[in-house]
Structure 1
Amino acid sequence: MPLRHQERSSSKILIVDDLPSNLQLLSTALVEAGYSVRNAISGSLAIMEVATERPDLILLDIKMPGLDGFSVCRHLHNDVMTADIPIIFMSALDDVPEKLKAFSVGGADYITKPFQIPEVLVRIKHQLELQHLRQTLKAQNQKLRIILQQYEIAETQIYQNNQELEQRVLERTKELNETNQALQQEIYERQQAQAQLMHLAMYDSLTGLPNRTLLLKHLEETVQASQLSVYESSALLMLSCDRFKDINDTLGHQQGDQLLIDIANRITAVVPDNSFTVRLADDKFAILLPKLPDTAGIAPLVKRLQQGLTVPIKLGTYEVTVSANIGIVLVDSSYAQAEHVLRDASLALIQAQQKPQGWRIFQPEMHQQALQRLTLEGKLRQALRQQQLQVFYQPIVALTCAAATAPIVGYEALVRWQPEGTSDFMSPADFIPLAEESDLILQLGNWTFRTVCEQLSQWHQAYPSKPVPFVSVNFSVRHLQGEHFAQQIYTVLQQTQAQPAWLKFEITETLLIGDAQPVLETLAQLRRWGIQISIDDFGTGYSSLSYLKQLPVDTLKIDRAFIKDIKSDADTLKIVEAIVQLAQVLKLDVVAEGIETEWQAQQLVKLGCTYGQGYWFAPPLDSEAAWELLEKF
């Protein structure tokens, strides 16, 4: 009976040879063949290895220092515990007396060196199979002896006391009946358990709705049906609820579970009876609408779903409301895989979350855009790893006059990326939002800050007698919300020897959304070190005067959108004037971004704006050009 692969892979082989090269060669070959291999470099070590863990077969070199192979074989065969281990001798001698001696001391086979690996493998396999057969035969013989003994005893008992045997047969029959009944009960219970497991695998335990696994099965059938008929189509709606996470985190998981149950009930109450409603995960649901005669009924259904979910839901003593975003994909003959339908519904849902109406129908370009964004994200990650990004510095000038040669007081650090294989820099508007949506914004911000600190230190070392201009560095809210952000800043300052007074951190007003207290404490810590704080794009975000009063800031930066329109829109000019006056009242500096004309600069000087920045004065420059420009002024 040949050994199965699993039995061969579990066979343990001990190789005994005083030459490491032979051990290495044989070990590699046997491990690749699936065997478990141990090695010993001498006869005494081989005996110790066998005592530690019994092998299934031994490859034994004859000529070794100390105990030779023959002595090892005699020792093992004199021990009843190891006498039956098959031993294959290995020797460079090919004479008959040597072979006869090997077999006389108990060897099972003999391999002449230099050996061929295929031959070794065949002989090992052969000996293992023989050993397996011997062990099987031994076991069968043992069983046969037991059976014969039992038969003789049974025959004697039958002869001596037939009545007693009959009674035992009756008792045994009863016992078998009882065992059979117990077995039938166990089979029934297992079938019930399997049915329950199948239900758990296919249905959501909280809402009782089918889950993603069962949806995929139905989608496969729907996709196959769409291939057969180009005149019929189905639709898959993917729905997610805003504010679920906030409600769940605030009121607890028990109330969150109840909310999901209510949402599921409202969905099933609105959708058609022949639809297939599924809970995918958390607050995400899907509705499969089969065999639509046309798509005209989808929009009214979507609106009914959204309206049904906006009705307040009672959770204990609280009343909450949620809103639904819905992505829609039409399942037609263009689809060949159910997973692609789910993918496109998810892409449509992402687009829906960015639209006021809260729903979108999938368009093929959405997938292309997603692939492009994924590709761009991969390239940006690579650019960060390979140091392909650059920091440019745009001058910030004192608005003592409107001239393009106004004195430079500092710079804003701006990241520039020239993707590999291109001749132009990519617009930050194309890759900064992508970074903000992922963890790349953290890596990008950290890299920019360290680069700026290193550049400031280089300027100071090269020109120790000249004052170092401050540089403004942008940080996202995710940076400021990091538990160890302040410590990371301190570490970089220590490593680069940059001074806190050389730096300004630019933040946006979105940090005021949610729990702002930890962020405010971090800003206060940075400010105590000497780092100044600026609010970037002031007036375009969460502008709260009460928060502004609490913020530890030094500067307001007026967004370029306001500066662009001050000539054509009198109201915008008034807004800019109000921001400048507000800053003056709060004793804050003001930086106007995006100044591109002399007229804009003149108006800002008249309004009392402290500082300006824009192409009227200078574009973003590399570090060398930035220092050269500073020296001119």
Structure 2
Amino acid sequence: MSSESLNSIFFNNKVKSPIKLLLLEDVAEDIELIILSLTNANLEFTYDVAETATIYKAKLDNNIYDAILADYRIPGFNGLEALKILQQSGQKIPFILITGSIGEEAAVECIKAGITDYILKDRLFRLPNILKRSLEEFTLRRQQQQALIERQKVEIALRESEQRFRALIENAIDIILIVSSEGTFTYLSPSVKRVLGYDPASLIGCSFFDLIHQADQQRIRQSFESIKIEANQSTILSEFRVCSHDNRWLMLEAIAKNLEDDPAVAGFVINCHDITERHYTAQQLRYDAYHDKLTGLANRSALLEQLQKAIDRNKRRRQDHFAILFLDLDRFKVINDSLGHLMGDELLKNMAQRLEQCHRDGDTLARFGGDEFVFLLQDIREPEEAVIVAQRIHEVLKAPFTLNNREVFISASIGITISTDHYDHPEQMLRDADAAMYRAKANGKACHEIFAPTMYLSALKELHLESDLRQAIQRQELVVYYQPIVFLKTQQIIGAEALVRWQPPGKSLIPPNDFIPLAEETGLIINLDRWVLQCACQQLYEWQQDFQGLAPHFISVNLSPKQFFDPRLKDIIIEIVGKTGLDKKYLKLEITETVFLKNSHTVLNLLYQLQQLNIQICLDDFGTGYSSLSYLHRFPLNSLKIDRGFINDLGQTNQNDAIVRIVGTLAQELQLELIAEGIEESYQIEALTTLGYQWGQGYYFSPPIDAQAFSLLLEKNTFHI
């Protein structure tokens, strides 16, 4: 029966009522998540809830269910006990464990006990598919059992009439055999010719067992002997190989029944079904389960299995050391995005072939996922052996890859973990190798690092920081500070830059350098930028109402590259200024030079869209990393911020002063407003004014302060040297 037809039976209201579920769970939130997962998958279902063993038993005694979804741990009760109660109840339905965590031993014990499947609570999105598959498998099993019953009924009917018996077996698709107690053929149905290629008459008197593969003969003989003791006994002869007339090995399964006492048969009836195609399909499925479809390498499941075996061996024999190398391709996303996913896949296939050159006998090379590969190196005596393999990998990756007649260079960052007796599970070693790999990336990519415990602590700290940051956004622990931008000649406040700060309850402020890079890496920066933009626009509008002519003439908001390239940016800005009431001309967006590394046509188009909204654009940190004078005339900019590094060194070297002077002159010629960052000394103001700089900001005037403190500055609205 096809999956489609099974779905129609179980999940179509027009055919059958909704699935009836019993949830064994005592946590209301978990029940809600389970229901939400199934509802989102458009499943039609009803459910009962049992929070205790007593309620669970009562529900089973008084109701018929289609499946049970059970938490592994209920107070005073567990999943295995729940399974045993179900088995005793007589209801043969799927039993699926849902658990927060489960160890390898517990998982094996549950599977041996007869659970249908299990799923972790943080993977509930897989629950609908698991439930569907489990119901389908149970349906197929019932159908197979029914088919077996029907087949036995046919065999009984055969005894009633020799003529009907002959008509049936002569036209059967399956092979029908009758053999003596010694196993010699006394009858073979015509289907022997179609399936095996033999003329039925040519095999009369030959032994059934002579056709069976030698490796299967003893097992099949034992099954056959088991039904010779008593009449009408039957047995299943599971998967055995039979030699065909053209010397191919076909896979059969059969049901053998003792009908020696039936005069119409006087022997043993063997009903054989050709399962060759099904067998090889199953083999292919098993292969697919442990191999990556794209590269043909071992996949994550195969690696985890081999790694667990290596850990277990190391536990038994301390001298059996091994290592894993965790590879992550450098800049793969850039190649994938620029050349397309098809070329990205082609690169991964070529990469797999290249890495196999570094593969030692007995080792495992797996594609772990995406652009990640893992080597499991067996029989490592010294850490240097793993380093040698890593060096070999770097060496083979030096040659370019050819993709669509284009040469592409790519390297890999490699994290190395050496086995120790404190590792119990594969995930622990992979976690440490991953931490070492990220350390290699931080050290410049295209290199390798051996794991050290400090790397794990660093990764753990970053993980906690990410979790805290996500909660901080939800709990509104973030605040916006404002730093005045001053007209240098008059010392009056001309504008303000909005800067985000993190204020955990009862703790000191966390500076942006400690969390902004993490926000950019995790994608939280988009929501963060949007929130800061709304706060800043709202605040400037309030200052305009309260201070009118003394209010800042503009508010500057830093825009991350991720937010800049968000296709919703224009709509977001229109929505925010509409809500806050701020005129768009008072908004200035600060972008860094990194955005210009993207497609210049895209950047130019985005900048023109913002300009059409009457929004000002400021190029921040000019003079660092990627500075190019071409940016200043190619792109529609309103103002330019020279990096604080040049201001700090003002008056220190002639070269530095020359750069500051040239940038000032260039900005004037291009009619760009020029802002100097990082002013901390009065002599810097004098020098900058002389060089034509109009605006500045820095701790000399004020550090970033909250809105209330900034309002006090507006009342004063001047700084005196």
User: What is the TM-score with the length of structure 1 in the denominator?
Assistant: 0.71
- 1:417 maps to which residue? 502
1:276 counterpart (364, 385, 396): 364
Counterparts in 2 of 1:526 and 1:219: CA distance versus 1, 3 Å: same
Q: Is the 8 A contact 1:234 1:289 kept in 2?
A: yes
Which is worse superposed, 207-216 or 461-470? 461-470
1:293 counterpart (355, 361, 381): 381
1:238 aligns with 2:354: no
Counterparts in 2 of 1:228 and 1:296: CA distance versus 1, 3 Å: same
- 1:529 maps to which residue? 613
1:373 aligns with 2:462: yes
- 2:515 maps to which residue? 431
Question: How many Å separate the matches in 1 of 2:394 and 2:310?
Answer: 25
The structure with the larger Rg is 1
Counterparts in 2 of 1:36 and 1:290: CA distance versus 1, 3 Å: closer
Counterparts in 2 of 1:189 and 1:340: CA distance versus 1, 3 Å: same
- 1:218 maps to which residue? 306
2:473 counterpart (384, 387, 393): 384
1:576 counterpart (655, 660, 665): 660
Question: How many Å separate the matches in 2 of 1:461 and 1:584?
Answer: 33
2:483 counterpart (377, 394, 414): 394
Letter in 2 for 1:400: K
Question: How many Å separate the matches in 2 of 1:491 and 1:293?
Answer: 63
Counterparts in 2 of 1:470 and 1:150: CA distance versus 1, 3 Å: closer
Q: Is the 8 A contact 1:229 1:333 kept in 2?
A: no
Equivalent position SS for 1:319: strand
Structure 1 residues 124-151: Cα deviation after superposition (integer angstroms, max 9, x where no partner): xxxxxxxxxxxxxxxxxxx9xx99x979
Counterparts in 2 of 1:231 and 1:569: CA distance versus 1, 3 Å: farther
- 1:359 maps to which residue? 448
Question: How many Å separate the matches in 1 of 2:164 and 2:695?
Answer: 112
Letter in 1 for 2:504: P
Structure 1 residues 70-105: Cα deviation after superposition (integer angstroms, max 9, x where no partner): xxxxxxxxxxxxxxxxxxxxxxxxxxxxxxxxxxxx
Counterparts in 2 of 1:463 and 1:336: CA distance versus 1, 3 Å: same
- 2:180 maps to which residue? none
Q: How does 1:120-135 map to 2 (within 5 A)?
A: none
Shift of the alpha carbon at 1:318? 2.2
- 1:617 maps to which residue? 701
Counterparts in 2 of 1:195 and 1:398: CA distance versus 1, 3 Å: same
1:450 counterpart (523, 534, 543): 534
Shift of the alpha carbon at 1:319? 2.2
1:175 aligns with 2:189: yes
Q: Is the 8 A contact 1:302 1:326 kept in 2?
A: yes
Equivalent position SS for 1:491: helix
Question: How many Å separate the matches in 1 of 2:318 and 2:592?
Answer: 52
Question: How many Å separate the matches in 1 of 2:487 and 2:297?
Answer: 65
- 2:144 maps to which residue? none
1:336 aligns with 2:364: no
- 1:407 maps to which residue? 492
- 2:183 maps to which residue? none
1:267 counterpart (346, 350, 355): 355
Structure 1 residues 429-470: Cα deviation after superposition (integer angstroms, max 9, x where no partner): 111111111221111111111111111222222234645431
Of Structure 1 and Structure 2, the greater helix share is in 1
Question: How many Å separate the matches in 2 of 1:312 and 1:227?
Answer: 42
- 1:45 maps to which residue? none
Shift of the alpha carbon at 1:189? 2.9
Shift of the alpha carbon at 1:335? 1.0
- 2:267 maps to which residue? none
Shift of the alpha carbon at 1:216? 0.7
Shift of the alpha carbon at 1:337? 0.7
Which runs of no fewer than 5 residues in structure 1 stay unpaired? 1-8, 13-25, 38-142, 159-163
Which runs of no fewer than 5 residues in structure 2 stay unpaired? 1-17, 22-47, 66-149, 171-175, 177-186, 197-251, 254-271
Q: Is the 8 A contact 1:557 1:593 kept in 2?
A: yes
Question: How many Å separate the matches in 2 of 1:208 and 1:571?
Answer: 58
Q: Is the 8 A contact 2:394 2:411 kept in 1?
A: yes
Equivalent position SS for 2:414: strand
Q: Is the 8 A contact 1:435 1:441 kept in 2?
A: yes
Equivalent position SS for 1:580: helix
Structure 1 residues 221-254: Cα deviation after superposition (integer angstroms, max 9, x where no partner): 1112222344553211111223444444444555
1:459 aligns with 2:543: yes
Q: How does 1:87-106 map to 2 (within 5 A)?
A: none
Shift of the alpha carbon at 1:489? 0.3
Q: Is the 8 A contact 2:380 2:386 kept in 1?
A: no
Structure 1 residues 235-279: Cα deviation after superposition (integer angstroms, max 9, x where no partner): 111112234444444445554443323222221212433322112
Counterparts in 2 of 1:185 and 1:371: CA distance versus 1, 3 Å: same
1:554 counterpart (638, 642, 650): 638
Question: How many Å separate the matches in 2 of 1:408 and 1:165?
Answer: 106
Q: How does 1:20-59 map to 2 (within 5 A)?
A: 32-33=59-60, 35=63
Q: Is the 8 A contact 2:195 2:274 kept in 1?
A: no
Shift of the alpha carbon at 1:627? 1.9
Equivalent position SS for 1:595: coil
Counterparts in 2 of 1:187 and 1:150: CA distance versus 1, 3 Å: closer
Which is worse superposed, 271-280 or 210-219? 271-280
Structure 1 residues 14-51: Cα deviation after superposition (integer angstroms, max 9, x where no partner): xxxxxxxxxxxx999999556379xxxxxxxxxxxxxx
Structure 1 residues 548-592: Cα deviation after superposition (integer angstroms, max 9, x where no partner): 212111111112222223344443333222222221221111111
Shift of the alpha carbon at 1:308? 0.9
Q: How does 1:58-77 map to 2 (within 5 A)?
A: none
Question: How many Å separate the matches in 1 of 2:285 and 2:614?
Answer: 62
Question: How many Å separate the matches in 2 of 1:477 and 1:346?
Answer: 26
Question: How many Å separate the matches in 2 of 1:11 and 1:393?
Answer: 58
Q: Is the 8 A contact 1:327 1:345 kept in 2?
A: yes
Shift of the alpha carbon at 1:176? 8.8
Q: Is the 8 A contact 1:10 1:36 kept in 2?
A: no
Shift of the alpha carbon at 1:616? 0.7
Question: How many Å separate the matches in 2 of 1:477 and 1:409?
Answer: 26
Letter in 2 for 1:174: L
